[in-house]
Structure 1
């Protein structure tokens, strides 16, 4: 079951689609009719088709992604992902009519976006002018359909509002670079991308000895007992610094999510605990739930929360330890379960290593 704090974050977002002023605060995640829109801390935006119905017949094996990077020179990119048998997207129809070669000839097969998954085929529109022609045509339609495959469709309900939201976030409304409401404003008038947070590096730490690891795991498990119909608690330990370690305890595991206790403590008895100093997630996201792990080789702490077993909706994040605190490195969230893999969920937090 979806945790209450995450449920509160995801519910009712479409009603608030334009409740904020034009200068939208980021990061943001919105459901707008049959679409989901996410914009990160830099004002880069990603919209993707996502059927809102919970019934099986509402599922679609075809997803349209739209990325628009922030700033005057921010690139526009479209991509179709088809989960199923080999397909020819040149046959796509808009409201029952062929799209025509002027659009479909811009589609390029992409081989690597889905990690080599043979069941997902990707077709991208990489040229900016061609991508704009696609959007101009689609905004006048209701539904894209792949003939011969009733489950391969894209509802265009909410597309125009999604594009307008992206324009508002990036300061493009009435600008020549706008997607929904272009005007005469010069591209140079578009606000620059917001500064990218730079991550301080992980300084490394001496690895735990076998004796240290065994003792820390025992300390984390102290007093824990297995609950009825639940696997026994498990714990792991990894080095943070020469004097401190991290223990990760999992318990009360359900079908695909567990409860966790993540503790920063001394490597030696009596294993005094220290504040974790974890940079909070934006949008009041609930961290360290579902599946949690710490990698002492890289100093990264991560979690992945599945809203359902397939793992196509929920939230996940990664933090990097700098020797004192955990810096948020990335954060992704997907509010609707539509078959989209974690790597293609809207990215809500973007960073880069410090030079």
Structure 2
């Protein structure tokens, strides 16, 4: 897994960009937010739990672009802001699902919400005008999206103007061709008529992989009350900070036990919460099938960062810096004995994007 380099970045380099800025000719492994999740075409499958260990996909940085794909080969490429532009005027993302005939979707996100129509140009040539509003972004689909995507790999600079002709922002296309070519290869489209960059004469026929299935247990009941002695014991076991008050533990019903999110330590913008369960008057560290939050592989007590448990989903968001433009977002579901990773998104580069790259996804059945 590529988790450790990104985790080291979160712990040691909170104010710097964290990924590898590599050239298209020799990419190296890289270490969620306005845009929706990428659409995924997946084959029909049974609802039985697949018990598949999570293996998040990798991310790659190509100069001013970064790309990532999850295990279902839903891929995303993101244009990065210049190193000296902390809050970019424009962010551009491209999503494409796996499977024959999947069409890319492009979204343009500004510091302020923009409404269509927008005009998209590459190196002064107008490619599309219009778009639809989508969660604070302007989205292009269909033939417009295909035309824009095709031009990204052959241009130097993309510009966006508003309905009155005003310039909204621009994005560097340095590295875009390599990022899209990498996505073509990951999705099995290189050399096919459906490739974004690496086009050929073969048919676009590679199927989308089936997603792993998690059968989640219902988290009902009543949460147990925690007495001060139990809270103190959990803090000792987790090695929590004791010289300041980090807040009260969160408790949530978890079927036949109680989930405890125990504030344990904090930095400038991350609150680490040790995760326990209480059952029959005893507390034990909660079990996970993947490292959570800023936990290291094999850690006996896992943590989540700024965690919560709502709608039967345990979340964690470990930021690389306070802006939230780099880090790891995770979602876990309870299967009756442990928490299972159901979604993970990452951004290894601290360069303006609050839209993260998908690296793991499971289908949750309740």
TM-score interval for Structure 1 and Structure 2 normalised by the shorter chain = 0.7 to 0.9
TM-score relative to the length of structure 2: 0.75
**Match status 1:4 vs 2:4:** no
Question: 1:173 pairs with 185, 190, 204, which one?
Answer: 190
Question: 2:200 pairs with 155, 160, 183, which one?
Answer: 183
**Match status 1:66 vs 2:94:** yes
TM-superposed deviation, 1:285: 8.2
TM-superposed deviation, 1:141: 1.5
**Match status 1:263 vs 2:293:** no
Alpha-carbon displacement from aligned partner over 1:194-214 (angstroms, at most 9, x marks no partner): 1112221223342125x4577
In the comparison of the two structures, how many residue pairs are matched?
Answer: 320
Distance 1:348 1:303 in 2: 15
Q: Which residue of 2 aligns with 1:196?
A: 211
Q: Which residue of 2 aligns with 1:252?
A: 265
**Match status 1:135 vs 2:167:** no
TM-superposed deviation, 1:250: 1.2
TM-superposed deviation, 1:219: 4.7
TM-superposed deviation, 1:89: 6.2
Distance 2:235 2:336 in 1: 25
Q: Which residue of 2 aligns with 1:117?
A: none
Distance 1:247 1:232 in 2: 15
The alignment partner of 1:152 has SS state of strand
Richer in helix (by share): 1
Q: Which residue of 1 aligns with 2:57?
A: 27
Alpha-carbon displacement from aligned partner over 1:265-320 (angstroms, at most 9, x marks no partner): 4341xx2425x3212159x986734312334xx44322111222222221110110
Structure 1 residues not aligned, in runs of 5+:
115-121
Q: Which structure is larger by alpha-carbon Rg, 1 or 2?
A: 1
Question: 1:45 pairs with 63, 72, 75, which one?
Answer: 75
Distance 2:67 2:291 in 1: 18
| Mean Cα deviation higher: 256-265 or 302-311 | 256-265
Question: 1:277 pairs with 278, 281, 287, which one?
Answer: 287
Q: 1:67 to 1:108 in 2, by over 3 A?
A: same
User: Does structure 1 conserve the Cα–Cα contact (< 8 Å) formed by 2:21 and 2:63?
Assistant: no
Q: Which residue of 2 aligns with 1:118?
A: none
The alignment partner of 1:161 has SS state of helix
Question: 1:154 pairs with 166, 171, 190, which one?
Answer: 171
TM-superposed deviation, 1:335: 1.9
Distance 1:251 1:311 in 2: 21
TM-score relative to the length of structure 1: 0.77
RMSD across aligned C-alpha pairs, in angstroms? 3.3
The answer to which structure, 1 or 2, has the higher relative contact order (CA under 8 A, 6+ apart) is 2
Distance 2:362 2:152 in 1: 33
Distance 1:185 1:240 in 2: 51
The alignment partner of 2:222 has SS state of coil
TM-superposed deviation, 1:65: 1.1
The alignment partner of 1:263 has SS state of strand
Structure 2 residues not aligned, in runs of 5+:
1-5, 30-54, 297-301
User: Does structure 2 conserve the Cα–Cα contact (< 8 Å) formed by 1:5 and 1:285?
Assistant: no
Question: 1:110 pairs with 120, 133, 142, which one?
Answer: 133
